[in-house]
Amino acid sequence: MPAGGVVLRGKQQAALARIHHQMTTAREVGDLLAACEADRTIMESGSAEAANVREIRRDYDKATKLPESLVSELAQVSSEAQHEWAKARKASDFAHFLPWLKRLVQLNRDKAACLGVPAGGEAWDALADTFEPGCTAASVTAVFTPLRTRLVKLIAELREAKRGPSNRFNETALPIDLQTSFVRMVTEAIGFDFERGRLDASTHPFCGGSHCNDVRMTTRYCETCLNDALGSTMHEAGHGMYEQGLPESAIGTPLGTAVSLAIHESQSRLWENQVGRGLPFWKWCRPHLVSHFGSSVDTFTVDELYGAANIVEAGFIRVEADEATYNLHVMVRFELERLLIGGQLDPADLPTEWNRRYRDYLGLEVPDDRRGCLQDVHWSMGAFGYFPTYTLGTLYSAQLFSAARRDLPGLEDGFASGHFAPLLKWLRTNIHAHGRRYSPAELCTRATGKPLSSEPYLEYLEGKLRPLYGL
């Protein structure tokens, strides 16, 4: 959007938020819900109808707790704040963004108060629950704390390792038009349906669309970044295949809708990492790479390609982070937003607290706020309670993949010869087909037999990285 459009866009967003809020909180919706809930034939235990009613009730109760004025102000302020954040980031000028951050923190504290803090919980929980049903700061902390200890230790060991994979493949310039057709071929091979979706290019990769038959995603290219393009595309394709796998018959109802951000992220991470950074994938991929790019790549062995996709190096930017350091970026944000929403951290002190954690967890001195606390768009969009879903998704991805391997013997051998369909089918059955029928926690237990834990992830990560770094 050009700068001139900012103010009116804010008003448009506020107007849309108001109309949307009026429609979702209409008394008629409440009356219809009550009538359904009173009808035993609808509410029959375990039925699809009952699940739909339960989820519509959940949305309705949340929406009716929020006053229209707050909904509309949040929409307007976050629309304008995004633009001011972009300016502040470009200039690395935290002071410019600070007044907007203060307003957004206060509006989100108000929002949490309206939604109601759960018994024994805290304000942050009320916000997180809108992205991830059932998510609380306490439950996140219980998973994150041991994970952090193990990750910090692992990363330190990798940093000190005497040998490690070569980065040479990642320095190879490859024409962008060939990269474009290559990642499209991979996307099709893993199961994204181009009859019901598109892939385009944009500055920041994303996946959107309006229903399972119209999924739009983007990726990004630069000449020496094939692995970035490939990883981003497989990531977005993971999101896209989840959307495509939601049941067509349930379009427009909760059962036709993704259940949570963490489950969504589990799908993207699974295809990006468990599949796309695995040795079997590269066995399949190498001949295609050579037939596509010819002599510029044919000197790389499968092992070299596999290694180049798994280099660990701590950096400042979350979206450029490797698999191992990524979660530490997320933890920093979770801890800080929890303090902001809890009122224990003054927004003005954000840079100091941010930089201190980057030093402690990643061993890095943040040089400026552009590469520090101004790097992410989320808070400027008014989204607090969102960040942990990235790491929860990563943990779900490892636990789901481990369960799929258990259920499907020879799964990874199949990847080496291009058989990705069994995995997609397993995900369709265990995750996609259910929409919002089960909560994220139930979905996890049904598919894997256990509640979410960081063990499968740590096992996967250490099992892969230690050998690559000769540990």
The tokens describing 124, both together, are: 């942050």
Q: What is the dihedral of CA 21, 25, 26, 29, to 10 degrees?
A: 130
Residue 446 burial (CB count, 10 A):
12
Tokens at 203, concatenated: 């500055």
Token pair 């892939």 is found at 199
| 336 neighbors 322 (Cβ within 8 angstroms) | no
Rounded to an integer, what distance in angstroms lies between the CA atom of residue 359 and that of residue 364?
5
C-alpha–C-alpha distance, residues 356 and 456, integer Å: 30
Q: By CB under 8 A, tell whether 408 contacts a second copy.
A: no
Among 357, 361, 439, which Cα is nearest to 396's? 439
CA distance 311 to 167: 7
Please give the residues from 240 up to 259 whose contact with a second copy meets the rule CB under 8 A: 251
**Rg of the chain's alpha carbons, rounded to an integer?**
23
Q: Site for a second copy (CB under 8 A): which residue of 58, 96, 102, 196?
A: 196
Catalytic residue among 236, 243, 272, 337: 236
Among 213, 253, 296, 439, binds a second copy (CB under 8 A): 213
Q: Least distance from C-beta 176 to a second copy, angstroms?
A: 11
Interacting residue with a second copy among 149, 194, 294, 450 (CB under 8 A): 194
**Should residue 208 be labelled a site residue for a second copy when binding is judged by CB under 8 A?**
no
Q: How far is the CB of 210 from a second copy (least distance, A)?
A: 7
Is 236 among the residues known to form the active site?
yes
Which residues is 214 bridged to in the sheet? 211
Interface pick for a second copy out of 69, 106, 210, 352 (rule CB under 8 A) = 210
Closest to a second copy by CB, 175 vs 410, is 175
Site string for a second copy, 7-36 (x = CB under 8 A): xxx--x------------------------
On whether the CB atoms of residues 337 and 388 are closer than 8 A, the answer is no
Q: Which of 104, 155, 158, 215 binds a second copy (CB under 8 A)?
A: 215
Query: Do strands 207-211 and 197-201 pair parallel, antiparallel, or not at all (unpaired)?
Result: unpaired
**CB closer to a second copy, 176 vs 441:** 176
Tell me whether residue 81 or residue 461 sits nearer to a second copy (CB atom). 81
87 is a site residue for a second copy (CB under 8 A): no
Of 4, 46, 120, 467, the residue at the interface with a second copy (CB under 8 A) is 4
| Interaction site with a second copy (CB under 8 A) | 1-5, 7-9, 12, 193-198, 210-211, 213-215, 251
Catalytic residues: 236
